Amino acid sequence: MTARTTTPLDYALLGLLHQAPQSGYDLRKIFETTAMGSYSGSPGAIYPALQRLERQGLVEGDVDTTKALRPKKVFRPTKSGRETLRDWLARAIEREDVERRLDELLLRFAFHWVLDDRAATRRFLESFHREVEDYLDELSRQQQDMPEPTPLQSRLALAAGIEQYRAFARWARKAIKAFEEDSP
């Protein structure tokens, strides 16, 4: 059990397979047609990733011979794969995640239903909100510390980043409310 990096794509695959066992081709379709596309798509990424996951024992593939155009390999997560997914979902949110891995955080949230634990999801959202607000403080500081001759374009680019994070903060507050209302 050596240290291994699991990429966002790996988690995306694991999550999708948890949702429903399916083939590499099916998965590709999802990436091509939905917003999940930002987590890859090309066959050159997806098939090797599935092979990796299989070698690591996180997914299992059964060849479906029944009346297929061509033998189709249907993957589903193993017990270990489900655990890996859950560990990732339950992981604490760090500053770094918010600064440089926003997309991965969103992916994590999208699969949070797997935990089936309303309290955990609320903690996730609250922690996300806190980190975003903290980072916003730093961005504001950077905005004020910009040297005088900074061109308008550069200022506006930073402003765009700030607006993006503000949108996430607002979203988190709304999401928390949504989970309060939709309760037992």
51 binds DNA (CB under 7 A): yes
Query: With binding defined as CB under 7 A, does residue 72 bind DNA?
Result: yes
Closest among 175, 164, 4 to 98, alpha carbons compared: 164
Question: Is 79 or 100 the residue whose CB approaches its own copies more closely?
Answer: 100
Q: Closest separation between CB of residue 171 and DNA, Å?
A: 26
Considering only 21, 30, 60, 73, the residue that binds DNA (CB under 7 A) is 73
* Burial profile 92-110: b = 16 or more Cβ within 10 angstroms, e = fewer: ebeeebbeeeeebbebbbe
Tokens matching residue 172: 């988190």
Least CB distance from residue 9 to DNA, whole Å?
Answer: 4
**Distance from C-alpha of 184 to C-alpha of 178, rounded to nearest angstrom:** 13
- In angstroms, what is the minimal distance from the CB of 183 to DNA? 37
Q: What DSSP character marks residue 36?
A: G
CA distances from residue 41 to 38, 44, 67 in whole angstroms, order as listed: 8, 8, 27
CB of 110 to its own copies, least distance (A): 4
d(CA 112, CA 82): 13
Residues that bind its own copies (CB under 8 A): 34-35, 37-38, 99-100, 106-107, 109-113, 121, 139, 142, 151-154, 156-161, 163-164, 166-168, 170-171, 175, 178-179, 182
**Phi and psi at residue 62, to the nearest 5°:** -110, 130
For the CB of residue 43, give the shortest distance to DNA in the complex, in Å: 4
Binding at 42: pick from DNA, its own copies, none (beta carbon under 5-8 Å per type)? DNA
Residues that bind DNA (CB under 7 A): 4-5, 7-10, 23-26, 28-29, 40-45, 47-52, 68-73
